[in-house]
């Protein structure tokens, strides 16, 4: 009997619908930690958690997470029902409880952005990570 693990596919995609629940980022972190590439897992988990936390804090209703590995890059996208585009807040006060999420995304991702989905249908915030990106800040 051959007990070798099968080779992972060269491309994959997962979509996870998450409820409007403060536990959603933790669930997504668990899923991502098991499916991301080892060299990207820590940063991908951190940034995905930040985007889902923002969706929970700033948008009404559920959200969804899409994780895609293709063209040697990991892309995470979070859809939520919020209509306001995200914006980094700069440097928060040292003991502030929030305000660092998008700054982390901006600092650690190889690319990131957002776009609106039709009139009053929410938005998507996304980031991309490349496995061999030099100059990226480690998580």
All structural domains of the chain, each given as residue ranges with its CATH number in brackets, are: 12-88+97-129 (3.30.565.10)
Buried b (16+ CB within 10 A) or exposed e, 47-62: bbbbbbbbbbeebeeb
β-bridge partners, 125: 78, 114
Q: Which residues contact 136 (CB under 8 A, 6 or more apart)?
A: 43, 108, 109, 110, 129
Rounded distance between C-alpha atoms, residue 66 and residue 126, angstroms: 9
Q: Report pLDDT for 110.
A: 96
Q: Report pLDDT for 73.
A: 92
Tens of pLDDT along the chain (139 residues) come to 556 655 556 788 889 898 877 777 777 777 767 766 778 888 988 999 899 989 988 888 889 999 998 998 999 999 999 988 887 766 666 666 666 789 889 999 999 999 999 888 999 999 999 987 655 555 5
Rounded distance between C-alpha atoms, residue 20 and residue 6, angstroms: 36
What is the token pair recorded at 137?
């800040």
What is the token pair recorded at 25?
């980022």
Q: Report pLDDT for 77.
A: 96
The closest of 9, 44, 39 to 28, measured between CA atoms, is 44
Q: Report pLDDT for 93.
A: 67
């Amino acid at each position: 009997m051959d007990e070798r693990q099968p080779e992972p596919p060269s491309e994959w995609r997962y979509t996870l619908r998450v409820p409007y629940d403060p536990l959603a980022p933790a669930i997504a972190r668990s899923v991502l930690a098991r499916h991301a590439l080892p060299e990207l897992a820590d940063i991908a988990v951190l940034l995905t958690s930040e985007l889902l936390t923002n969706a929970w804090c700033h948008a009404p209703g559920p959200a969804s997470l899409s994780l895609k590995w293709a063209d040697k890059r990991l892309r995470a996208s979070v859809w939520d029902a919020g209509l306001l585009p995200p914006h980094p807040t700069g440097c928060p006060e040292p003991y502030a409880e929030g305000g660092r999420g998008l700054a982390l995304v901006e600092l650690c991702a190889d690319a990131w952005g957002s776009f609106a989905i039709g009139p009053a249908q929410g938005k998507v915030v996304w980031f991309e990570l490349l496995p061999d990106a030099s100059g990226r800040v480690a998580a």
